[in-house]
Structure 1
Amino acid sequence: MTLTGGPPVLFAHRGAMAREPENTLPSFELALRLGATGLESDAWVSADGVVVLDHDGVVGPRFRRRPISAVPRAELPAHVPSLEELYAACGTDFELSLDVKDPAAFGPVVSVVRAAGVPPRTWLCHPSLSVVSRWREEAGDVRLVDSTRVSRLQDGVRGRARTLAARGIDAVNFHWQDWTPIYVDLFHEAGVHAFGWDAQTPKVLDRLLATGVDAVYGNHVDRLVAAAARLN
């Protein structure tokens, strides 16, 4: 049972990347048509303050690559969409998970999300607990996610669940191999959502969903949808 009692969110990792170029509008659009209930990407901010979606955060030919933060929006490759363009193309009726690898992008991301009216459906992720804790102080309306591994938890699973609850962090995101039903229950008891990433095969998806996680991330949208159907 998920924390909300509803079905788990099916996050299409970088869109329908198994069938379309990743992190492009066609990839995101196809993912939603195939049945994904969430989209995943990485958010960066251009030199002129535009939030764009790209995995590595660098663009340009080999040996001449530049960070997106140093390039104006108009000079970025045409396939790199802005967050505003994502909403224009796909609407807002889905959950959106963004890895905000550059903390400087957090404020601009929140501004776009608020303008679209979807803070409750936006999950902003970072691997540093101190970073997401600071973000909670800066913005109380978006969802925040602690992306980590069980092996990195100095406070243990139960301790991390209590810490996240105390700091108002909405979810924890572990690799699928880390999740057990007991761990899911510990986070749910604290009121923290449990997310699992890198779920690629039917066997892995079935195992992960059986633990009761609230969301799964995968590259193959058809497999995500089929696994959710088997769960029911």
Structure 2
Amino acid sequence: MTVPRVPPILFAHRGAMARERENTLPAFVLALRLGATGLESDAWVTADGVVVLDHDGVVGPRFRRRPIAQVPRSELPAHIPSLAELYASCGSDFELSLDVKDPAAFAPVVAAVRAGGDPSRTWLCHSSLPVVTGWRAQAGDVRLVDSTRVSRMEDGMRRRARTLAERGIDAINLHWLDWSPIYVDLAHEAGVHAFGWDAQSPSSIDRLLSTGVDALYGNHVDRLVAAAARLS
């Protein structure tokens, strides 16, 4: 049985992207200043092994774009921060959710987290359950998240939650429309945290909060903070 997180984590999706350029240090700094208790981004590794934060994972002009994995850190656009620079600017006293879309980047990301952050407050996400399951065998100190949709779960919510608990996966992340109080209870009964993403409008944030989820992801930090204050 998992004890619900009260208050839930308020993840600023790509930082305070409604006010600053997404996935930049100013966006991350502002998000925490506005009251976010967590930051979210996508993590990639450059050709020379530096973990950086960017959404698409590709850079360069149109028709000549290259994967970040093929580009050295020195050739990336200046606005793309490294994970080490995030810690230097923001510290590590917050929850950090990172989508690691390239499974090969997992080990370097974990190493960077251990070097500058707090593994116990770091949630590494992927949309493939087999991939996330394999990650647990590689690292026991970071948090792992199964990012999916109810429509993709052939086993159903009850069985999926139990499977995650058996495999040591810490949370399941669903679109806010997928969550209901019953589904949250099933996750908690199995010992898994319930995360909800894409909560943007005040009504969607309020609805998601009412289900009892442990974390919300949104672009509008002020709306997340205001809704959490109303709930409390």
Give the TM-score taking structure 2 as reference length: 0.98
Is residue 123 of structure 2 the alignment partner of residue 112 of structure 1?
Answer: no
| AA in 2 matched with 1:211 | T
> Partners of 1:105 and 1:97 in 2: how far apart?
15
CA contact (8 A) 2:11 2:37 kept: yes
Aligned position for 1:167: 167
User: What's the offset of the Cα at 1:163?
Assistant: 0.1
Counterpart residue identity of residue 227, structure 1: A
Indicate the residue corresponding to 1:79 in structure 2. 79
Secondary structure class of the residue paired with 1:108: helix
Gaps of 5+ in 1: none
SS at match of 2:101: coil
Task: State the AA in 1 paired with 2:92.
Answer: T
SS of structure 2 residue aligned to 1:154: coil
Tell me the alpha carbon deviations over residues 132-177 of structure 1, each in whole angstroms, 9 at most, x when there is no partner. 0000010010000000000100111000010000000000000000
Name the structure 2 match of 1:196: 196
Where 2:111 maps in the other structure, the secondary structure is: helix
- 1:112-191 alignment, distance < 5 Å: 112-191=112-191
Residue aligning to 1:208: 208
How far off its partner does 1:3 sit? 3.0
- Give the gaps of 5 or more residues in structure 2: none
User: Could you tell me how far 1:218 is from its partner in structure 2?
Assistant: 0.2
Moved runs in structure 1, 4+ residues, more than 6 A?
none
Could you say which residue in structure 1 is the equivalent of 2:61? 61
Q: Where in structure 2 are the equivalents of 1:90-105 lying within 5 Å?
A: 90-105=90-105
What SS does structure 2 have at the residue aligned with 1:226? helix
Question: Shift of the alpha carbon at 1:104?
Answer: 1.0
Partner of 1:21: 21
Number of positions where the alignment pairs a residue of Structure 1 with one of Structure 2: 231
Return the alpha-carbon distance in structure 2 between the equivalents of residues 187 and 175 of structure 1. Answer: 15
Cα RMSD between the aligned structures? 0.9
Alpha-carbon distance, 1:116 to partner: 2.0
1:141–1:212 Cα change, 3 Å? same
Q: CA deviation at 1:117?
A: 4.5
Secondary structure of 1:114 counterpart: helix
Contact 2:184 2:194 in 1 (8 A): yes
Percent same amino acid at aligned positions? Answer: 81
Aligned pairs for 1:211-226 (under 5 A) are: 211-226=211-226
Q: TM-score, normalised by structure 1?
A: 0.98
What is the letter of the counterpart of residue 27 of structure 1?
Answer: A
Q: Deviations over 1:91-149 (max 9, x none)?
A: 00100000000111100010011112400000000000000000001001000000000
Counterpart residue identity of residue 30, structure 1: L
Counterpart contact for 2:87–2:117, Cα < 8 Å: no
Residue 45 of structure 1 corresponds to which residue in structure 2? 45
AA aligned to 2:89 is A
